[in-house]
């Protein structure tokens, strides 16, 4: 049974990125409209001092354009990363390891430490809910399924330039779904997938 596949998580990340982009476009339009309104008032009412409104509008416009640019770059980065992973998955450039999970280190709930370090049949992985990635990163403390003694088949990809534990877990298959009954605050990083 497939417990995780990167394409499902990618849909969530892309949805968030698109929502942020749409909001940023709205901010740019709103700030530009505010600036135009301030200029309109200035041209029709010469006695009114609106310099502070124009300055505020310019600052708001600059801020919103900068924010839009950052989100646009993030979206392009996600698109490129997703394309690379999809290509690797289609071309079967991933590696597969199967076996029982050994937990070498558990990530604490508050982070500020190494994430979960697990080993499956001699291959080590490091997972952290605080690293945003298309790959599986749900740690044990946040309801992750890669617990001590669980038998799993893990499909992973190691992009060029990364070494050691820096791999992307693309897919996890298990004989049966493990359910973790821990109640999680929905604001925790890995609580919603």
- Work out the average pLDDT over 156-183: 73
**The predicted structure's pLDDT at residue 80:** 85
**Structural contact between residues 142 and 191, judged by C-beta atoms closer than 8 angstroms:** yes
Prediction pTM value: 0.70
Q: What is the DSSP track for 4-73?
A: EEHHHHHHHHHHHHHHHHHHHHHHHHHHHHHHHHHHHHHHH-TTS--HHHHHHHHHHHHHHHHHHHHHHH
Q: Could you tell me which residues are beta bridge partners of residue 101?
A: 120
- Work out the average pLDDT over 89-117: 87
pLDDT, tens only, 91-104: 999 999 999 999 99
Can you tell me the distance from the alpha carbon of 79 to that of 165, in angstroms, rounded to the nearest whole number?
23
pLDDT reading at 86 higher than 80: yes
**The predicted structure's pLDDT at residue 162:** 65
**Residue of 49, 47, 40, 157 whose CA lies nearest to 97:** 157
Can you tell me the distance from the alpha carbon of 20 to that of 38, in angstroms, rounded to the nearest whole number?
27
pLDDT, tens only, 13-59: 777 777 777 888 888 888 888 878 777 777 777 666 677 777 777 88
- Work out the average pLDDT over 104-109: 85
**Residue of 40, 179, 187, 190 whose CA lies nearest to 115:** 190
pLDDT reading at 191 higher than 70: no
Percent over 70 (pLDDT), the chain: 85
pLDDT reading at 164 higher than 70: no
């Amino acid at each position: 049974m497939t417990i995780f596949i990167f394409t499902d998580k990618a849909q969530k990340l892309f949805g968030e990125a698109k929502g942020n982009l749409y909001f940023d476009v709205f901010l740019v339009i709103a700030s530009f409209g505010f600036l135009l309104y301030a200029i309109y008032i200035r041209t029709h009412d010469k006695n009114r001092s609106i310099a502070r409104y124009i300055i505020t509008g310019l600052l708001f416009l600059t801020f919103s354009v900068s924010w839009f640019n950052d989100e646009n770059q993030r979206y392009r980065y996600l698109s490129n990363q997703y394309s690379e992973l999809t290509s690797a998955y289609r071309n079967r450039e991933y590696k597969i390891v199967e076996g029982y999970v050994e937990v070498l280190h558990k990530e604490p709930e508050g982070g500020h430490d190494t994430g979960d370090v697990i080993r499956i049949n001699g291959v080590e992985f490091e997972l952290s809910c605080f690293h945003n990635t298309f790959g599986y990163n749900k740690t044990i403390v946040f309801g992750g399924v890669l617990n001590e003694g669980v038998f799993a088949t893990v499909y992973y990809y190691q992009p060029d330039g990364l070494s050691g534990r820096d791999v992307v877990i693309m897919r996890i298959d298990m004989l049966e779904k493990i359910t973790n009954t821990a109640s999680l605050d929905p604001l925790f990083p890995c609580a919603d997938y």
